[in-house]
């Protein structure tokens, strides 16, 4: 069992930045591929970004490419999402997720989920 806790969400104006964090409860964090997803009201959960257990080969949704950066610090058992040039359409509940193998853009692939942190971008 891996417990994941997100933090760093908040209210920001369009064009602003936020950094989300996701802290894991277990040292086995370093063996998991990790991802960020988001879900806006009335919409399905969508893939944002993912990173392998080594920290290499990150992947991004087209909608955030060039604006968001995913990274991880295995010794700190923490996953990050740096979000720059935020837009109102980025408003959503952001979740981190863990998979014991390679990553995927499909939510059903992931075994462990956090409770989410709200990001609201005002225009």
Could you report the per-residue pLDDT of 94-121, keeping only the tens digit for each? 999 999 989 999 999 999 999 999 999 9
Nearest to 46 by CA among 117, 114, 104: 104
User: What's the pLDDT tens digit per position in 44-62?
Assistant: 999 999 999 988 889 999 9
* Proportion of the chain above pLDDT 70, given as a percent: 100
How far, CA to CA in Å, does 29 sit from each of 47, 48, 65? 20, 20, 25
Quick one: average pLDDT of 4-31? 95
CA distance 120 to 78: 22
Q: How crowded is residue 97: how many other Cβ atoms within 10 Å of its Cβ? A: 25
Reported confidence tier of residue 26, pLDDT bands at 50, 70, 90: confident
Q: Is 27's pLDDT higher than 90?
A: no
Reply yes or no on whether the pLDDT at 1 is more than 90.
no
Give CA separation, 26 vs 2, 14, 111, in Å: 6, 35, 14
């Amino acid at each position: 069992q891996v417990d994941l806790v997100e933090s760093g969400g908040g209210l920001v104006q369009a064009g602003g930045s936020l950094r989300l964090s996701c802290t894991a409860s277990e040292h086995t964090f370093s063996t998991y591929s990790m991802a960020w997803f988001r879900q806006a009201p009335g919409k399905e959960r969508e893939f944002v970004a993912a990173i392998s257990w080594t920290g290499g080969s990150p992947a991004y949704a087209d909608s955030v490419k060039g604006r968001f950066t995913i990274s991880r610090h295995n010794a700190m058992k923490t996953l990050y999402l740096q979000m720059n040039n935020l837009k109102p359409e980025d408003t959503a509940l952001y979740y981190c997720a863990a998979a014991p193998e390679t990553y995927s853009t499909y939510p059903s692939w992931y075994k462990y989920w956090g409770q989410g942190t709200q990001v609201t971008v005002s225009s």
